Structure 1
Amino acid sequence: MTTQPTSFEFCPIGVVETPFEDSAEAPRQGCIEEVRGTVVLAEAYVPGVEGLEPGDELDVLWVADRADRDVLEARGRGVFTTRSPARPNPICVTRCTVRAVSDDRRRVDIVGVDMFDGSPVLDLKAPMR
C-alpha cells in the first residue's frame, strides 16, 4: 500500500511571550534554565485551561516559525534524532511548569521557556504519566 502525504492546517491557540528575540539568546532546552514566559491564549480557548494550577507541568507545543525548514542534518546527525527547531515541520515541544494563571484565564505564566517571543502556540498538554 502506498501512502500519500497528507496536508494539515493548524490554528494556533495563542502566542508565547518570552525574553528571547533570536537563537543566540534562547537556551538549547527550556529545562536548562528557569526562564519565565507567558502563554497568551485567544479568547476562544480560555475554557481549555480550567483546572490548571500553579505547579502543574505542561507540555507547550509551539511552532518555530522562524526556523530553517530545509534542514535535514543538525550537529552531524539526522535532524529527526535531535530536538532542533530547524526541521521540515518545525513543531516543537517544551516541558514547562505553571507559575500562575490569570484571573481571566487568558494568560498562563510558565517557567522553562526556550521559544522566541511571539511564537505561535498550537496546544497545551498535560505530560504523560
Structure 2
Amino acid sequence: MDCKPIGTVHTPFETTGEAPKQGIHEAATGVVELDPAYRAGLDGFDGDRVVVVWWADRADRSVLTLDRDESRGVFTSRSPARPNPICVTTCGVDEVDTDAGRLYVRGVDMADDSPVLDLKVPVDVRTDL
C-alpha cells in the first residue's frame, strides 16, 4: 500500500488530546493547505462542507481498548489512538483559495500540522452522482 500526504492542516491544537472529540460540533477553525502538486485538485470546489481524511501521526498505535471504557475496543470509537490512525472529520468550509491551495475550515478536531491524506465532498452535497 502506498499512501502519501497531499498537504497539512493547521489548527489551534498542539496535541490530539487538546482537540475536541467531535470537531463539527465546535467553532474551532483551521486551514487545510495542499502541497503545490495537488492544488489543481481544488479547481471547481464550491461546497460548504468537506470531509478531511487525515493521519493522526502522534497517536498511540498500540491502543486497542478505550481508556474511558475498557469493555469497548477502539473500532467502536472515533479516537485517533488505533493501529492505523486514519481519521475522518467533516468540516464546514468558510473560504476556498484555489491559487494558494487552501481551504479555510471550521469544526476541526485534528492536531496542528497533521498530515492530510485526502479531501472528499460529502455524499449528500453531490447532486451529479
Task: Report the TM-score, using the length of structure 1 for normalisation.
Answer: 0.88
Residue 57 of structure 2 corresponds to residue 62 of structure 1 = no
Unaligned segments of structure 2, at least 5 residues: 125-129
Partner of 2:99: 104
Distance of 1:57 and 1:105 partners within structure 2: 19
Residue 113 of structure 2 corresponds to residue 118 of structure 1 = yes
Distance of 2:123 and 2:98 partners within structure 1: 27
Distance of 1:65 and 1:57 partners within structure 2: 24
Distance of 1:39 and 1:24 partners within structure 2: 20
Residue 93 of structure 2 corresponds to residue 93 of structure 1 = no
Q: Once superposed, what is the RMSD of the aligned Cα atoms?
A: 1.2
Tell me by how many angstroms 1:117 deviates. 0.4
* Residue type at the aligned position of 1:128: V
Quick one: which of 24, 34, 52 aligns to 1:41?
A: 34
Maintained 8 Å contact 2:16/2:59 = no
Unaligned segments of structure 1, at least 5 residues: 1-7
Partner of 2:127: none
Q: Tell me which moved more, 103-112 or 86-95.
A: 103-112
Distance of 1:41 and 1:71 partners within structure 2: 30
Quick one: which of 122, 125, 128 aligns to 1:127?
A: 122
Q: Secondary structure at the match of 2:3?
A: coil
Misfit runs of 4+, over 3 Å: none
Maintained 8 Å contact 1:49/1:105 = no
Distance of 1:95 and 1:79 partners within structure 2: 20
Task: Report the TM-score, using the length of structure 2 for normalisation.
Answer: 0.88
* Identity within the alignment, %: 57
Distance of 1:16 and 1:41 partners within structure 2: 9
Maintained 8 Å contact 1:41/1:106 = yes
